[in-house]
Structure 1
Amino acid sequence: MSSSPRFLGLALVLGLLSAIGPFAIDMYLPALPLIGRDLGADMQTVQLSLTVFFVAIGLGQLVYGPVSDMLGRKPALYFGLGLFALASVGCALATDIHVLVALRFIQGLGAAAGMAVPRAVVRDLHTGVDAARLMSLLMLVFSVSPILAPLAGSAVIAWTGWRTVFWAVAVAALAGMALMASSLQETRGPEARVQSSLGAAWRAYAHLLRDRHYLGLVAIGGFGMAGFFTYLANSSFVMIEHYGLTPTQYSLAFALNAAAFIGAAQLNGLLGRRFGLVPLVRFSALASALLVAAMWLFFAAGGDSLAVLIVLFFCASAFMGQVVPTTAVLALEAHGAIAGTASALMGTLQMLGGAAAMALIGLVASSRPLPMVTGMAICALLSLATALGTLGWRGRAVAAA
């Protein structure tokens, strides 16, 4: 079943739908310094256009999750992608940094559908190791974005300027709607929607917020993602302005980390069957934290090497590729009846956590690597601490294992 063409096709469709929003992040990363110069904005204000996007994705998922439980997965996706496309056109036409920031918020509200709903579709269809394998395949397609998008963005920016990036993602959203219409079946049938309502959604949120195991799993992946978001918001300034890379060279360096995440995530099904999902998360969170802590010690001691930054974060990203999708599967495992709501709350908490990390590091950010690496190390250590607190030390296990 897990290797059938239908299984692989579903992963492709869900991954592409999930990647549309992140594509709007990764494709314009090489342009952040250029946008600041073009619109007369400082580094912190330009970074705000990235932060509000994450905040909007987080808040929007609180709505899309229950709505997809009540009305079905596809209507929620259609609305979100349509809103995303309209806001993208507005971003392409913006002439003021504050207008761009506002439109990025609206764009993020649309992108939230692609983040919340595909995870719920996975839970509609599968549980356990099969769900972990499908989630990892989804992440494979999804993670093509941070490999290809910065490269595509740097090429587009070099030839036509940063505004074309937003025209491109608007077209991508329309293509996603067409793909969904032709290739994705509704997985939340009318019989499953009977018990879904706004009141039921709020009760479900209250139930989830009292579930310490669910919240712990969300936090493990959330802190891991927050470290990556810190890198996302600051790496273009560090690598382009401090280390002197061109936008294309930066895109290639950024793509290396995404490739590590992707490659490792594809081993989750095999490793999950061999060692169990819980031990996999516990070991990978430890390995990632140790690598990022070593990177911080190097820069805190006065070191300054682009190679150290790239190599150590490449290895840490590989281990985080085993943590994030696996904790998502474990968090949704016991909540199949409210999978859309549970997926939405997970996405909201993780995105808002990532936005908070970016905002806090933004207060002290510079083009030097130490502030960025400090934020990444704090997030990695918090992910490890939460993993040990939620899943236990070696010798202890949980029912979800």
Structure 2
Amino acid sequence: MVLGGLSAVSPFAIDMYAPGFPEIVTSFGTSKTAVQLSLTACLVGLAVGQVVLGPVSDATGRRRLLLAGSGLFSVLSLVCAVAPSIAVFDAARLLQGVAGGAGIVIGRAVVSDLFTGASAARRLTTLSVIGSTAPVLAPVAGGLVLGVGSWRLVFVALAVTGLLLLTAIWAWVPESLPAERRGTGGLPAVLRATGALLRRRETAGHLLVMGCGLAALFAYITGSPFVFENVYGLSPTQYSLVFATNAVGTVLAGAVFGRLAGRVRLNLLLTVGVAVTVVALVTLVTLLTVGISTFLTTWACLFGLTSGFGLLLPASTTIILAIGSDAPGAASGMLGGAQFILGAAAAPLPGVLGDTTAMSTAVVVLGCVLLSATALLTLARPWEGHGEPAGSPE
């Protein structure tokens, strides 16, 4: 429960405040771009935090960093809530992301410390599903908070959540990496191990499969409000229901993965997940190209995207952590870095040429899933079976 909460709170922090963007622009007397940069700052902070804190936890242990990360997340959320200017707000968002990255990266490493094989896969699936659905559900929750207060109340809620998690870590999360299992040679040795992992073709391949998949998800998150509200005429409430329904696709696919992990090869599940995302987006772009642009067809294709992602993310996460089992914190940090760096790069692309349309969003998302498929076939090479637990099915 605690690790699940840690996996959710930072993704919630990414865009829970998105419905309040117009109010923030007015509050600070600034531009839309400056406010949107606060979301990018949080994504960059999450990437940096995971890349740095994952390897550090391999050398120093997990518990103290989890406690420090949750405490600082609460403090920085309060700084966001009382920020007097957009400059302070954006800086606090960057640091909030760094602190929040501790919970995501170290939570995965704790699972790798305690479990292996199918047992680890099922638990990592749970964390992956939580982490991937949280950014999708966060704007819905933010809209509810904004119904009773200003955008600043969103960050007060995040601060309180961080404080509750700090208390829960103190009570229920013991140190999972004893001193004798920590990386010898200190942090430099752990960083060398990280470099060695990145130089392996299969590691880089699976990181790109997962990172490009998450880039597709963030392009969908940023583009879909304009598509469904401006193009298809949905109200914000109706759009929230569409968003939530698509999140259910991710949850259901993750549940299927959890049932099949240990009985079906992880690389096969990963391949199916990537194939579903590609088929869904090729279908959508084809329909839009021939002039079929309806609410139901677009919704169905994007539901296919989120469902495929529910297989892609837990499979790639489990495989990458298995490949990097000698340095799980470093491997987990690379996961987070690839996810959020590529996500930050893809998020603004649906509207980069002007208006965000169904076609512009679909083309960007299709490009991301095709890059994911290319990395799967050329680098990850699922038929070679990298990252499969011992005794996995043939």
TM-score strictly above 0.5: yes
Contact 1:131 1:329 in 2 (8 A): yes
SS at match of 2:323: coil
1:398 aligns with 2:393: no
Among 179, 182, 197, the residue aligned to 1:208? 197
Among 273, 286, 298, the residue aligned to 1:309? 298
Contact 1:30 1:236 in 2 (8 A): no
Among 336, 342, 362, the residue aligned to 2:325? 336
Change (3 A) 1:398 1:145: closer
Cα distance between partner residues in 2 of 1:392 and 1:51: 32
Change (3 A) 1:194 1:374: closer
Contact 1:288 1:319 in 2 (8 A): yes
Give 1:262's aligned residue: 251
Cα distance between partner residues in 2 of 1:377 and 1:126: 35
Contact 1:50 1:233 in 2 (8 A): no
The residue type paired with residue 139 of structure 1 is S
Among 74, 99, 116, the residue aligned to 1:110? 99
The residue type paired with residue 264 of structure 1 is A
Give 1:99's aligned residue: 88
The residue type paired with residue 317 of structure 1 is T
How far off is 1:192 after superposition?
Answer: 1.2
How far off is 1:124 after superposition?
Answer: 0.8
The residue type paired with residue 104 of structure 2 is M
Cα distance between partner residues in 2 of 1:177 and 1:274: 36
Contact 1:238 1:366 in 2 (8 A): no
1:180-225 CA-to-partner distances (Å, cap 9, x unmatched) read 1112121111111261512112211211121111111111111110
The alignment's TM-score, normalised by the length of structure 2, stands at: 0.91
1:250 aligns with 2:239: yes
How far off is 1:379 after superposition?
Answer: 0.6
Among 317, 324, 327, the residue aligned to 2:316? 327
Change (3 A) 1:386 1:143: closer
Contact 1:231 1:376 in 2 (8 A): yes
Deviation larger for 33-42 or 266-275: 33-42
1:127 aligns with 2:116: yes
The residue type paired with residue 85 of structure 1 is S
SS at match of 1:275: coil
Cα distance between partner residues in 2 of 1:194 and 1:297: 51
1:104-128 CA-to-partner distances (Å, cap 9, x unmatched) read 1111111111221111111111222
1:218 aligns with 2:218: no
Give 1:20's aligned residue: 9
SS at match of 1:400: coil
Give 1:7's aligned residue: none
How far off is 1:376 after superposition?
Answer: 0.8
Cα distance between partner residues in 2 of 1:230 and 1:102: 24
The residue type paired with residue 61 of structure 1 is Q
Give 1:9's aligned residue: none
Change (3 A) 1:374 1:148: closer
- In the TM superposition, 1:176-191 aligns within 5 A as 176-191=165-180
Change (3 A) 1:190 1:318: same
Contact 2:76 2:93 in 1 (8 A): yes
Contact 1:19 1:114 in 2 (8 A): no
The residue type paired with residue 387 of structure 2 is A
Give 1:354's aligned residue: 343
Cα distance between partner residues in 2 of 1:171 and 1:335: 34
Contact 1:116 1:343 in 2 (8 A): yes
Give 1:50's aligned residue: 39
Contact 1:66 1:197 in 2 (8 A): no
1:150 aligns with 2:139: yes
Change (3 A) 1:364 1:77: farther
Change (3 A) 1:309 1:32: farther
SS at match of 2:374: helix
What is the RMSD computed on CA atoms of the aligned residues? 2.2
Change (3 A) 1:360 1:147: closer
Residue correspondences, number = 388
Contact 2:55 2:194 in 1 (8 A): no
Cα distance between partner residues in 2 of 1:227 and 1:237: 16
The residue type paired with residue 24 of structure 1 is A
How far off is 1:390 after superposition?
Answer: 3.2
The residue type paired with residue 385 of structure 2 is V
Give 2:261's aligned residue: 272
The residue type paired with residue 76 of structure 2 is A
Cα distance between partner residues in 2 of 1:245 and 1:39: 29
The residue type paired with residue 54 of structure 1 is L
Q: Which runs of 5+ in 2 are unaligned?
A: 389-394
Among 46, 69, 89, the residue aligned to 2:78? 89
Cα distance between partner residues in 1 of 2:132 and 2:195: 32
Give 2:392's aligned residue: none
The residue type paired with residue 166 of structure 1 is F
Contact 2:129 2:314 in 1 (8 A): no
Give 1:195's aligned residue: 184
Give 1:298's aligned residue: 287
